[in-house]
Amino acid sequence: AQKVTQAQTEISVVEKEDVTLDCVYETRDTTYYLFWYKQPPSGELVFLIRRNSFDEQNEISGRYSWNFQKSTSSFNFTITASQVVDSAVYFCALSGLTNAGKSTFGDGTTLTVKP
């Protein structure tokens, strides 16, 4: 069985603050993918990043960065200098090689960035 835990249900920050969204996963697979998605108030799901289990390099994309640590089974997401447009629900997801089509999403973290 695989599981994704996003312990932070809601986070509220003031614009320009940095914020980290936590994601902890469980899987018995040694080969798997991790993903982050953003769901803005309009409702669509927007892909942010994919990381495979063999690549532990951290990634930075503009104000977004991701920290993947296999030792702690975590794949955390940091937004630097947050903006109001970052307000959304963020989902972490996992897809493993066993039951290759099965995908598991976390419950999501609702981020509110106040002006």
Binding site for another protein (CB under 8 A): 6, 9, 31, 33, 35, 43-45, 47, 49-50, 91, 93, 95, 97, 99-108
**Which residues are paired to 104 by β-bridges?**
94
d(CA 102, CA 97): 9
Closest to another protein by CB, 51 vs 82, is 51
The Cα–Cα gap between 88 and 11 comes to: 10
User: Which of 53, 80 has the CB closer to another protein?
Assistant: 53
State the DSSP string of 27-38. Answer: -S-SSEEEEEEE
Q: How far is the CB of 10 from another protein (least distance, A)?
A: 10
40 C-beta neighbours (distance < 10 Å), count: 13
The minimum distance between CB 56 and another protein, in angstroms, equals 17
Q: Which is nearer to another protein, 9 or 71 (CB)?
A: 9
